Structure 1
Amino acid sequence: MTRTVLIAGAHGQVGQHVTELLGAGEHEARAMVRDEDQTDEMESLGAEPVVADLTGDVDHAVEGCDSIVFAAGSGGDDVFGVDRDGAINLIDAAEDAGVDRFVMLSSMGADDPESGPDALEDYLTAKAEADEYLRQSGLDHTIVRPGELTNGSGTGTVEVGDDIGLDAGDIPREDVARTLVAALDHDELVGETFELLSGDEPIQEALATIAPN
């Protein structure tokens, strides 16, 4: 099935990997960016750019899309405005537009924000509230919660689970992006939330273990 996929946060570090993967694949990629100056870069990655801000009107960005990958992040500058309220804004727009599939980039530790580092508590709380809003929506969703992100080269192999532990390891952003894109085509992952780290299992095989038929 060929999808038209909106990438929220397409110019971010994970988002650029997602955009490039989708732009080179069978799906149609629509890259959402806040700055008009970023559109040429998105086109070079094989995506159709659309300028929109998560904190404002995003209806035009969602129009015509059947799937969304939410890879946006505030970088710590406005966690409740972007990571929570921005996600909620996009979820509402997706429901109104009849979007079929929503894959959310969350974070390991979002289930219990108070147990994480003090510096991350607001971020994890924002992610937790956005995740719960998505769960309560009518969207076919999957929530992916990676551990610490690195800029190393991806290996294509991961570990997945539901209680890995916040300090258990890390994962390259490239492999997170590969997992987000792969999750789009795994219908058995609808309604699932899982944690993600570097590991020994190929991504497709790992995803197949989360909700086996």
Structure 2
Amino acid sequence: MENILVAGANGTTGKKIVNLLKESQYFNPIAMVRKEEQKAFFEAKKIDTVLGDLEGDVSQVFNITNKIDKVLFAAGSGGKKVVEVDQEGAKHLIDASNKNNVKKFVMLSSMGADQPEKAEQLQEYLKAKHNADEYLKSSGLTYSIVRPGALTNNELTNEIELEEKLNKSGEISRNDVAQTLVRTLNDEIANNATFEIIKGNTLIGDALNKVSTVKA
């Protein structure tokens, strides 16, 4: 099983990602949390945890018994520290991943991050996500950048609409986003690809296979 470091594990989407990884026969989640008191939630479920603050030096999160094979970045500042966390925090983790020979880095980004200057809202946040995405693309790491539409708390449908550029807005459940991110960790799926997702009528697996074929 591959060890997956999940940055932002304590967030709403992060917890869903960790639970999916825990249920998987291929992946073992390592929940990266910022505060000591956040560890109890995951340790109660027998999920490995590691302390790490994206605003500081994150290199120590790799100094654990289990070698980290891949990284899934699902952290967010909630609009409070977009430069410090969403941008620079992502860069810190990308650099540390490079130094520790991580096989793949999956980034949870946002629709609109390709052209933040055109956004009517959340322009600073989207600019930070754009800068982080571009840094990852130029890092030399194998990556996938997933850009969902507006997040909802609806149930899992296991169906999405996916394109490199959808040219329309839309929403998608956190459950479907988490499912997409976890599937994207696969070695054969969406390598060095950036794509947008909203709710749709195509099974997540089929939609991702299309990305792989286009980018192969």
In structure 2, the partner of 1:91 is 94
Take 1:69 and 1:131, find their aligned partners in 2: how far apart are those partners? 13
Query: What is the CA-CA distance between 1:165 and the residue it aligns to?
Result: 3.0
Find 1:76's aligned residue among 57, 79, 82: 79
Take 2:19 and 2:189, find their aligned partners in 1: how far apart are those partners? 25
Distance 1:153 1:78, change over 3 A: same
Deviations 1:139-181 (A, max 9, x none): 11000000000111111111100221352x1000111010000
- Equivalence map 1:132-147=2 (5 Å): 132-147=134-149
Deviations 1:53-94 (A, max 9, x none): 011121121342010000000100000110000000000000
Is contact 1:147-1:166 (8 Å) kept?
A: no
Deviations 1:27-74 (A, max 9, x none): 111000011111111224452011110111211213420100000001
- Equivalence map 1:1-213=2 (5 Å): 2-26=1-25, 27-63=27-63, 64-117=67-120, 119-167=121-169, 169-212=170-213
Distance 1:80 1:192, change over 3 A: same
Take 1:67 and 1:47, find their aligned partners in 2: how far apart are those partners? 16
How many residues are treated as equivalent by the alignment?
210
Take 1:3 and 1:121, find their aligned partners in 2: how far apart are those partners? 36
Take 2:123 and 2:28, find their aligned partners in 1: how far apart are those partners? 36
Is contact 1:24-1:46 (8 Å) kept?
A: no
Structure 1 residue runs of 5 or longer lacking an equivalent are none
Look up the equivalent residue of 1:172 and give its one-letter code. S
Query: What is the CA-CA distance between 1:186 and the residue it aligns to?
Result: 4.5
Aligned partner of residue 165 in structure 2, secondary structure: coil
Take 1:95 and 1:209, find their aligned partners in 2: how far apart are those partners? 28
State the superposition RMSD in angstroms.
1.2
Structure 2 residue runs of 5 or longer lacking an equivalent are none
Percent sequence identity is 43
Look up the equivalent residue of 1:116 and give its one-letter code. A
Take 1:182 and 1:152, find their aligned partners in 2: how far apart are those partners? 19
Take 1:114 and 1:153, find their aligned partners in 2: how far apart are those partners? 32
Give the TM-score normalised by the residue count of structure 2.
0.93
Take 1:56 and 1:126, find their aligned partners in 2: how far apart are those partners? 17
Give the TM-score normalised by the residue count of structure 1.
0.95
Which stretch of structure 1 is more off in the superposition, 158-167 or 3-12? 158-167
